[in-house]
């Protein structure tokens, strides 16, 4: 019971030691990991702050410079162009957009009124006479008579609008009458006013006549249709006349062009005409919203037309409002932003009304937001960090920390394992040493006390015959031999422990070793419970061995065979040649061993926990000494055993080759 208590107390202590060791690993590991994660976090914050500082210092200037350069150049170009058309500013917008793509349209404001787009100010009121003929033409469909009337009114009227209307009406009536050749001839005269013509048609009428001519060519499949279309498209684009009529003429001409096979020239003219129509449309829409109070050189949303931005420049006698569509504007910003973006940040732009002009999204908050000065003071640029930037920046650091952590953890774990093993080994050694002392004391006490009793008996003369005294003496000698063996074993073990054991290897006949061992055991084995067979092969080769050590080996094995056998002991010692050397085999019919026991018997102080093992004397050192000696001889020891059946120990040592 006391033992058990001790063991469990020892186990508890061990448990505490192991727990402390585990804590010694876990605690620093947790601290280390926490410290590293904090370091990475701080590192991220530091990098973030550094980047914010860098971009805050760099981006607003960079944006401002880029915008100012870009739009400053455009402004210079624009002003230069305006100067060229100083006398007739109305021509400027369409000329400009033909060449450049930065603006889509313009509104020109001169001396208090809008001069582009061009509005028709005084629509002429045609006289009642013309209206009467219209009745003839449209209601009665009497074209013949209508032509006559138109000719008459045209030649007598002093109002130019009436004269133009009559000329057009005649062409109209001729074509309605089916006299297309004549209608074309008349129309050609209008479209290409020859020198004889008394009336000089204004641009609007020339353009309308041209349109009419193209129409007639189309109806008659005239071979000049394509050339005419080309001419009229470019001519109408060039002429300056009210915007709405120009849009109508150009639109119609484009529609007529759809019916012919397009030449490259025509295609580019159509494109140009479309651009002009678009410019006019935008100019018309914006003209109503033109505010001359708009701050100069500042891009603003055109009120009510969200997809349009305007910038106004002062002229010597008015203003020019440059108009940019949102597509063009976002194209500009895309380029601007691309120049300033990199793999770390991206930017978003919002116009003066806060409308974003990009399609980017971000769930994060911008780390920097500013107004680009110069042309865009109300606009806002937001700068965001790209996703995963900081993770990427600290990744290398993280990897380094990770490996340091792994190394430290591994190192600490190993340290703890080694310490635990050392402590456990030390604890085991202490226990074994205590056991050993107890065993030694016990083992020494038994032969000594029996010797003392025998010697006392002889000294007191308490024996009847001389024979008995001799027997007592023999017994004393036997105990003495046992004591010597025991002490020999202890000494060998002690030397072994201190690595002081030196072997005196000499060339020797194996038979000599075996015979000496048998001689040492003879007295012990010489009783009726024990049958001891010795078989030593003849002509065995010499071995290189320490005779005394080898005798110790065999004596230990024979002693064990005796100790661990039942009353009817059969012990056999065989010495024979083996392919690896000379084999000494000690076989018994004793208690045998389990596999588990066999694996441990060569350990120091090991004693199998069988009842017999405990009842016999022993220290658990014999076989460890045997193993030590055999190893020193470069030999090997094997054991075969079955519980209850007996055991066989085979020791093989190499033969002496010289
Ligand atoms: P001990 O002093 O206890 O005999 P040993 O080192 O000689 O120490 O043996 C270790 C253990 O091996 C023994 O306690 C015993 O249990 C087992 N053993 C050794 N030889 C034999 C054998 N011949 N038969 C059965 N068990 C044996």
Is a pLDDT exceeding 80 seen at residue 329? yes
Q: Report the 10 Å Cβ neighbour count for 309.
A: 24
Estimate to the nearest angstrom the gap between the alpha carbon of 630 and the chain centroid. 60
Residue to mutate, 565, 590, 601, 641, ligand 1, most ligand atoms under 8 Å from C-beta: 601
Question: Quick check: bond before 633 cis, omega within 30?
Answer: no
Query: In a 3-state reduction of DSSP, which class is residue 472?
Result: helix
pTM above threshold 0.75? no
What is the maximum alpha-carbon separation in the chain?
A: 192
Per-residue model confidence (pLDDT) at position 13: 67
> Which CATH architecture does the domain made up of 118-286 adopt?
Alpha Horseshoe (1.25)
Q: Which residues contact 314 (CB under 8 A, 6 or more apart)?
A: 296
User: Which residue is it, tokens 């994660």?
Assistant: 37
**623 token code pair:** 């076989």
| Distance (Å) from CA 601 to ligand 1 centroid | 7
Per-residue model confidence (pLDDT) at position 128: 76
- With a 6 A CB cut-off, is 310 part of the ligand 1 pocket? no
Contact 60, 366 (CB under 8 A): no
- Secondary structure percentages of the chain, helix, strand, coil, to 5: 60, 15, 25
Is a pLDDT exceeding 60 seen at residue 392? yes
Residue to mutate, 489, 530, 564, 565, ligand 1, most ligand atoms under 8 Å from C-beta: 564
- Give CA angle at 86 (240, 328), nearest 5°: 75
Contact 164, 201 (CB under 8 A): yes
Identify the residue whose C-alpha is closest to ligand 1 atom 19: 560
Q: How far apart are CA 654 and CA 658, in angstroms?
A: 12
| Distance (Å) from CA 607 to ligand 1 centroid | 6
> Which CATH architecture does the domain made up of 395-477 adopt?
Orthogonal Bundle (1.10)
Q: Which residues contact 287 (CB under 8 A, 6 or more apart)?
A: 107, 114, 117
Higher pLDDT, 553 or 32: 553
- With a 6 A CB cut-off, is 231 part of the ligand 1 pocket? no
Contact 540, 577 (CB under 8 A): yes
| Distance (Å) from CA 551 to ligand 1 centroid | 17
**645 token code pair:** 């059946």
Give me the mean pLDDT over the 381-408 stretch. 84
Q: How far apart are CA 371 and CA 378, in angstroms?
A: 6
Is a pLDDT exceeding 90 seen at residue 35? no
In total, the chain counts a number of residues equal to 658
DSSP 557-568: HHHHHHHTS-SS
**27 token code pair:** 């605690």
- Write the CA distances from 26 to 38, 401, 422, 643, 655, integer angstroms: 18, 17, 20, 46, 56
- With a 6 A CB cut-off, is 598 part of the ligand 1 pocket? no
Backbone CA torsion sign across 229, 234, 238, 242: positive
- With a 6 A CB cut-off, is 561 part of the ligand 1 pocket? yes
Contact 137, 172 (CB under 8 A): yes
Q: How far apart are CA 106 and CA 323, in angstroms?
A: 6
Domain boundaries, the chain: 118-286, 395-477, 502-653
- With a 6 A CB cut-off, is 553 part of the ligand 1 pocket? no
Per-residue model confidence (pLDDT) at position 393: 74
- With a 6 A CB cut-off, is 439 part of the ligand 1 pocket? no
Contact 286, 105 (CB under 8 A): yes
Highest mean pLDDT among 440-449, 493-502, 636-645: 636-645
Neighbouring-strand partners of residue 321:
107, 312
Cα(first)–Cα(last) distance of the chain, in Å?
Answer: 60
Cα-only R_g, the chain: 61
Contact 138, 169 (CB under 8 A): no
- With a 6 A CB cut-off, is 648 part of the ligand 1 pocket? no
Atom of ligand 1 nearest to the CA of 621: 6
- Closest of 545, 520, 522, 543 to residue 532, by C-alpha: 522
Give me the mean pLDDT over the 460-488 stretch. 82
Long-range interactions of 436-440: CB distance < 8 A, separation 24+: 436/605, 436/619, 439/618, 439/619, 439/620, 440/490, 440/619
Atom of ligand 1 nearest to the CA of 610: 16
**What's the count of helices (H) and strands (E) in the chain, helices before strands?**
18, 15
- Closest of 106, 91, 96 to residue 281, by C-alpha: 106
- With a 6 A CB cut-off, is 646 part of the ligand 1 pocket? no
Residue to mutate, 554, 607, 647, 650, ligand 1, most ligand atoms under 8 Å from C-beta: 607
Out of 3.30.565.10, 2.70.98.70, 3.40.50.1370, 3.40.50.2000, the CATH code matching 502-653 is: 3.30.565.10
Per-residue model confidence (pLDDT) at position 1: 35
**505 token code pair:** 């290897």
Strands, sheet with 368-370, edge to edge from the N-terminal-most edge strand: 345-350, 380-385, 368-370
Per-residue model confidence (pLDDT) at position 184: 93
With bands split at pLDDT 50, 70 and 90, how would you rate the model's confidence at 152? Answer: very high
Atom of ligand 1 nearest to the CA of 606: 10
Per-residue model confidence (pLDDT) at position 561: 95
pLDDT-wise least confident of 91-100, 195-204, 236-245: 195-204
Structure confidence by residue, pLDDT tens digits, 597-626: 999 999 877 887 544 445 677 778 889 889
With bands split at pLDDT 50, 70 and 90, how would you rate the model's confidence at 122? Answer: low
Neighbouring-strand partners of residue 346:
384
Higher pLDDT, 131 or 198: 131
- With a 6 A CB cut-off, is 560 part of the ligand 1 pocket? yes
Identify the residue whose C-alpha is closest to ligand 1 atom 14: 607
| Distance (Å) from CA 619 to ligand 1 centroid | 9
575: DSSP letter: E
Mean of the per-residue pLDDT values of the chain: 85
- Closest of 525, 618, 538 to residue 569, by C-alpha: 525
| Distance (Å) from CA 645 to ligand 1 centroid | 15
- Give CA angle at 39 (33, 40), nearest 5°: 90
Neighbouring-strand partners of residue 636:
652
Per-residue model confidence (pLDDT) at position 3: 42
Structure confidence by residue, pLDDT tens digits, 404-414: 888 888 888 88
Structure confidence by residue, pLDDT tens digits, 580-605: 899 999 999 999 999 999 999 998 77
**417 token code pair:** 């394992």
């Amino acid at each position: 019971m006391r033992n058990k208590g001790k063991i469990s107390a020892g186990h508890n202590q061990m448990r505490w030691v192991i727990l402390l060791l585990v804590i010694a690993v876990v605690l620093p590991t947790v601290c280390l990991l926490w410290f590293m994660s904090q370091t990475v976090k701080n590192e991220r914050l530091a990098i973030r702050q550094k980047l914010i500082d860098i971009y805050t210092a760099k981006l607003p200037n960079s944006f401002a410079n880029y915008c100012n350069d870009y739009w400053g150049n455009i402004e210079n170009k624009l002003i230069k162009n305006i100067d060229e058309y100083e006398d007739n500013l109305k021509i400027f917008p369409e000329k400009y957009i033909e060449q450049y793509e930065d603006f889509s349209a313009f509104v020109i404001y001169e001396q208090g009124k809008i001069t582009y787009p061009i509005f028709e100010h005084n629509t002429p009121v045609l006289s009642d006479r013309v209206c009467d003929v219209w009745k003839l033409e449209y209601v009665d469909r009497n074209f013949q008579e209508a032509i006559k009337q138109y000719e008459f009114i045209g030649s007598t009227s002093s109002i130019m609008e009436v004269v133009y209307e009559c000329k057009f009406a005649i062409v109209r009536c001729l074509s309605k009458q089916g006299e297309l050749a004549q209608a074309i001839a008349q129309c050609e005269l209008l479209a290409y006013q020859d020198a004889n013509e008394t009336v000089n048609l204004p641009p609007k009428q020339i353009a309308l006549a041209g349109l009419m001519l193209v129409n007639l060519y189309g109806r008659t499949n005239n071979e000049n249709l394509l050339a005419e279309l080309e001419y009229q498209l470019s001519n109408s684009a060039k002429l300056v006349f009210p915007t709405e009529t120009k849009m109508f003429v150009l639109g119609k001409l484009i529609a007529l062009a759809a019916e012919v096979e397009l030449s490259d020239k025509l295609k580019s003219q159509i494109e140009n005409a479309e651009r002009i129509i678009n410019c006019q449309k935008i100019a018309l829409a914006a003209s109503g919203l033109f505010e001359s109070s708009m701050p100069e050189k500042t891009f603003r949303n055109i009120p009510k037309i969200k997809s349009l931005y305007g910038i106004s420049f002062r002229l010597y006698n008015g203003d020019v409002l440059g108009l940019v569509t949102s597509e063009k504007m976002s194209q500009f910003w895309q380029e601007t932003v691309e120049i300033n973006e990199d793999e770390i940040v991206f930017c978003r732009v919002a116009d003066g009304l806060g409308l974003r002009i990009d399609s980017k999204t971000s769930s994060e908050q911008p780390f920097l937001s500013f107004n680009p000065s110069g042309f865009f003071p109300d606009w806002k640029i937001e700068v965001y960090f790209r996703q995963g930037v900081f993770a990427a920046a600290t990744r290398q650091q993280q990897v380094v920390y990770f490996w340091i952590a792994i190394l430290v953890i591994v190192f600490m774990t190993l340290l703890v394992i080694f310490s635990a093993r050392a402590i456990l080994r030390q604890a085991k050694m202490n226990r074994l040493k205590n056991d050993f002392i107890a065993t030694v004391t016990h083992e020494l006490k038994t032969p000594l006390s029996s010797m003392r009793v025998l010697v006392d008996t002889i000294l007191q003369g308490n024996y009847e015959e001389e024979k008995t005294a001799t027997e007592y003496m023999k017994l004393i000698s036997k105990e003495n031999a046992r004591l010597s063996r025991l002490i020999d074993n202890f000494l060998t073990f002690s030397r072994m422990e201190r690595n002081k054991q030196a072997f005196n290897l000499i060339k020797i006949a194996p038979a000599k070793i075996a015979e000496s061992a048998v001689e040492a055991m003879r007295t012990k084995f010489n009783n009726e419970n024990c049958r001891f067979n010795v078989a030593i092969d003849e002509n065995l080769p010499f071995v290189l061995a320490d005779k005394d050590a080898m005798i110790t080996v065999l004596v230990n094995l024979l002693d064990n065979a005796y100790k661990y056998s039942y009353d009817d002991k059969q012990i056999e010692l065989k010495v024979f040649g083996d392919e690896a050397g000379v084999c000494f085999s000690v076989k018994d019919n004793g208690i045998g061993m389990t596999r588990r026991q066999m694996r441990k018997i060569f350990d120091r102080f090991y004693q199998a926990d069988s009842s017999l093992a405990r009842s016999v004397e022993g220290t658990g050192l014999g076989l460890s000494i045997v193993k030590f000696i055999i190893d020193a001889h470069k030999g090997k020891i094997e054991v075969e055993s079955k519980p209850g059946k007996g055991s066989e120990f085979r020791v093989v040592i190499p033969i002496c080759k010289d």
